[in-house]
Structures are given as C-alpha cells and as structure tokens.
Chains A and B, each alone.
Chain A
Amino acid sequence: MEHITNFAELIAAAKRLGPKTIGIAAANEKEILLAAADAQEQGIATFILVGNQPLIREIASAQEINITGMIVVHEPDARKAARRVIELVNLGHVDFAMKGRVETSVFLKAALDREHGLRKGELLTHVGVMEIPGFDRLLLISDAGVVVAPTMEQKIAIVQNAIKVAHVLGVEEPRVAVLAATEMVNTKIPTTMDAANLSKMADRGQIRGGIVDGPLALDNAISEESARVKGIKSPVAGRANILIAPDIEAGNALAKAITYFAKGKMAGIVVGAKAPLVVASRADPHESKLVSIALGVLLSARGAR
C-alpha cells in the first residue's frame, strides 16, 4: 500500500478502490450536491440522497449540478433523514453515511441509536486529515470535532482510531504526537500526564500500530529544529504524522488555524461506528467535501471503520 501524501493521491486511491455507495442525510445543499456529482463523475461513489426532494432538485437545477443516476428519497425532516440514512447502512443499501444539512449532533445521535444505529461498542471520534502548503505529508488531527473533553479512556480510543486512519492512508507506523502546552510533565497540567501515559501504553503495546510520544508542544511535534533547540529526544519530535489535541477546543482551533491562516485543506471523517461517517463542516467548500468522501471510500474499502 503506497503512502498517500496529498489529496490528489487520496482521490486517485479512492478511484481505484471505489465506487462505494453513500447515503447523504439532508442532501439539500449546494456544496454537498457539487461534491456528490464530482464523486460520481470520477467513479469514486454513487449516492442515495435523502432529504427535501423538491429542494434537492431545485438546487441541482439552479446550480446546474448533474445528479442523474442518484436515487432521491423524499424526507424533509432533517432528523428523520439522518435516521433513514443510518437505516440504509444497516440494510446494506449503502456502504456508509454522510452528513448533509443536518446538525452534527443530530446525525451522530442517529448513528449512536441503541436499536437502529451503527454502534460497535466503541467511541466515535473525529479524524481530520490536513493537506498543508509547504508540508511534505498529510497531517492527521484528532479530535477536532466530536469528543469534547476526553477522559484518559477516551484519549486511548482517539489515538487508536487516528492510527487506523493513518494505516489506511498507507502510513505503516505513524508517529503520534500527544500535544500539550508544554513538553514537561506537570502535575498541575493533567493533559501532560495523560500524554505521558499514552506514550507508555504504546510502548507496552496497549496502543498498537504507531509510535506515540508526549507531551509535546506543537512546535516540537512538527519542527525538528525546534525540538533540537529545546534538547528534546523523541522518535516523534519533528516527524509527527498524527497530532492528538488535549481537547476539542485546542483541536478545532488548530485545524481552523491551519485551514484559514495557512491556507490548508481539511477532510473529515468520524470513525468508531460500524461504517465510516463523513462529517464535513458547512463552511467546507465542495472540494474538501469531495476529499472527505474519498477518505470514507478508502476506509470502507480497506475494512477500517
């Protein structure tokens, strides 16, 4: 499996491994439909669009988006549309689900429904895949969108899930930096203690498939020069593939700082359910949503959920 280092390679891989069938909940939104049309055209995915059917057709027509071949199921209520799409995954009519114009919390609640959802007994975590100008590899950030204030137990799942996504991107032994405001373990800063524990757990094989080190401040995680100046000896320093944020606020701030100030692009996916869940932000342009779709296809094809 070749190491995917940018979005063009990611999309090319999805083309080879696809097409997969995707159910979109509340698909009545321009950028979503553009991404879907693009994905269909490139042979990455086919779609079942669940949402306000007249509105979907109106948007497609007004924006000249080609949705021929896509099945459209009329369900104007966003919550019901989310449940419908999850049902389609359970029935095997689609390979996985994508969030449209419905709130993330509503979409994930449908996925987590005990009776009708996609629970696997694991924590759902968000993994963001960043393509950054001037950076030679994709950078994974977790959890910038779903788990708010992770406990130590939840951080273990966050790290393990991010490693799985890195594997699917062809990174065999990803280097994982557990971020904190400082690289020193400080009893007044619990995130530094969690970071040190996660590193130890990886050493002991309790977290598998990656090299984990922390606490590391962001500069030490991605800049070998910074790590050298501070005298930090770490197999991850300067070479991180995965950045684990102390909580959602730090993770989200980092991801958005990269996309807004550094002109980076982000693809997002939620893992831990029986099938990947594509969760893109409303502010994401359709190009990013397309990459999120491609990422979902890769995860679905390579068996990682």
Chain B
Amino acid sequence: MKPIRNFGQLVTTAQELGPRTAVIAGARDREALLAAAESVQRRIADCILVGDAAAIKEAAAAAGVALGAMIVVDVADPERVALEAMCIAGRGQADMVVKGHVPSDAFLRAALSREANLRRRLLTHVGPYQIPGVDRLIFISDGGVVLYPTAPQKVEIIQNAIRVARLLGIEVPKVALVAASDRVNPAVPSTMEATALVVMARQGQVVGGLVDGPMPLDVAMSAEAAAAMDIDSPVAAHADVLIAHDVEAGNIMGKGITYFAGGRMAGIVVGAKVPLVLGSRADDRATRLACLALGVVLAARGYKEIWG
C-alpha cells in the first residue's frame, strides 16, 4: 500500500477503490451538490441526497447539477434531515455520511442517537492536512469533537489517528504528543500526560505507531528546532500525526495552518459504524472532494473491521 501524501493521490486512490455509497445530510447546499456530482462523475461515490426534495432540486438546477442517478430522499422537516441520513447508513444502505446543510452539533447528535444505530465507540475527529511546503499529509487530532479528553479518551484519539494514517498507507505513523514544552513538568499537565501516554504506547496499549512526547510543534516538524533543543527522537522532525492537548489547542493549531499557511484539511470523524465526513463551509471544491475521497478510501480498506 503506497503512502498517500496529498489530496491528489487521495482522490486517485478513491477512484481506484470506489465507488462507494455516500449519503449527504442536507443536500440543498450548492457546494455539497457540486462535490457530489464530481464524485459521481469520477466514479468515486454514488450519492444519496437527503433533505427537502424541492429545495434540493432547485439548488441542483441553479448549480447546473444533473441529479441523474442520485437518489433523493425527501425529508421536509429540517430537524429530521440529519437523523434520516444517519438511519440510512445505520441500515447498511450507505458506506459514509456526509454533512451538508445541517449544523455540526445536530449532525453528531444524530450519529449518536439510538434510532440511527450507528453508535459503536468514542467519536474522534481526525484531520489530514495538506500543507504547502510539506511533503506528506499531517494528521491532527482531535481538533473538533472531543473537547477535553480524559486519559482513556486520549488513548483512543491517538489510536484512531494511527489507524486512519495506516489506512492511507503510512505503515508506522510517527506520532508527536504536542505540548508547549519538551520538559516534563508537573506545572504543565500536558507534559505529564504525554509521558504517561508514551509509556502506555510502549507497553502496547496503543499499537501500530511510534509515539513520542511531550514535544513542541516546531520540534515535531523541524530538524533544526529538534537539534537546537537537543532532542533525539525518531518522531522529532518527522511527525505524521500531531496530537493536540485538547480541542482548543487542536482547533487553533489547525486553523493557524489553514489561515496563515494555506493548508487544507479533509476532516473525518471515526468511531461510529461508518465514517462521518465533516467538512467546513469554507472548504473549496478540491477539499470537499478530498473529504469524500477519504471516506471512500477508509470504507474500502476496512473501516468496518476496525470500528464497525
């Protein structure tokens, strides 16, 4: 399995492994429809569109999208759109659920509802970033779902990020536990937790990756920074996965990369029966396609065996 290093390769791989079925929660969104049409055209995904049928058809016409082979499931009540989409996946009729024109919290609540039957394990957000000047994808977790992880939740966050990276062909992902300092200091809780997690990984409680920390972000990415701080670690300068201390750090780190460095993220939430694609309203076309492609690659390469 060749490592996927950027969004272009992600889309190509999805074309090879696809098509899979995506159900879109809230499909009256112009950008979501355009991305759906493109994924159908490229044989990446077959799409089921859930929402107000009249509004969907209107939006599709306005966007120049031929609904053609796409199935439209008419749900007039906006409060029920996300739930209907989740139920479709829960019944095994779709391989992934994509967030369209529904609020994020409603989307996730629907995923966790008993009615949907999708609830399996802790939901965690994994964000693969494509960043100008960086030769590989950088996976950041958890910048969006688990707010203030307990230690066991952190273990699951790390393990999920490793699993996603491995499904994208990175054999032994290098995982940096990002902290403000490299020194273990009781006054800085992230450093104490990082040390415990490194030991847990060594003892086999986290598998499949190389975990080290506490590590400042620049040390995780840069050989010069690592040398300046006398840090000798196989993860330093070569991190594939950056684990943030909590959602605030993860979210701010990720947005810093997007808004100042021109990075793009294809975010996914794992832990439910199927992957949940959670894009942002600010995403451009290429990023939305990459998000769908990511869901397809995970579904095709054994998501169900791991989380289902």
Q: Which residues of chain A have a CB within 8 Å of any CB of chain B?
A: 31, 103, 105, 132, 135, 144-145, 148-149, 179-181, 188-189, 191, 217-219, 222-223, 226, 229-230, 245-254, 256-264, 282-283
A/B interface sample: 6 pairs, CB < 8 A: A144-B180, A217-B251, A254-B256, A256-B218, A260-B222, A282-B229
Contacts A218-B255, A283-B224 given; indicate if A264 touches B217 (C-beta within 8 A).
Answer: no
For residue B159, CB closer than 8 A to chain A, the reply is no
Q: Which residues of chain B have a CB within 8 Å of any CB of chain A?
A: 131, 133-134, 144, 147, 178-180, 183, 185, 187-190, 216-219, 221-222, 224-225, 228-229, 244-253, 255-263, 281-282
Complex CA gap A131/B180 in Å reads 20
Of the candidates A103, A250, A260, A282, the one whose C-beta lies within 8 Å of that of B248 is A250
Chain A contacts for B190, CB-based, 8 A: 249
Minimal beta-carbon separation of B30 from chain A (angstroms): 13
Contacts A249-B190, A249-B246, A283-B225 given; indicate if A257 touches B147 (C-beta within 8 A).
Answer: no
Contacts A188-B147, A246-B248 given; indicate if A252 touches B180 (C-beta within 8 A).
Answer: yes
Contacts A217-B251, A249-B245, A250-B248 given; indicate if A283 touches B218 (C-beta within 8 A).
Answer: yes
Q: Besides A217-B251, A247-B248, A261-B261, 12 other CB < 8 A contacts?
A: A219-B282, A222-B259, A229-B282, A249-B245, A250-B251, A253-B217, A253-B250, A256-B216, A258-B261, A261-B133, A282-B229, A283-B216
Minimal beta-carbon separation of A211 from chain B (angstroms): 21
Chain B contacts for A103, CB-based, 8 A: 183
Contact B244 A249 (CB under 8 A): yes
Contact B248 A262 (CB under 8 A): no
Chain B contacts for A251, CB-based, 8 A: 180, 252
Minimal beta-carbon separation of A136 from chain B (angstroms): 13
Contacts A262-B256, A283-B229 given; indicate if A250 touches B217 (C-beta within 8 A).
Answer: no
Minimal beta-carbon separation of A140 from chain B (angstroms): 14
Of the candidates B179, B188, B253, the one whose C-beta lies within 8 Å of that of A257 is B253
Contact B248 A257 (CB under 8 A): no
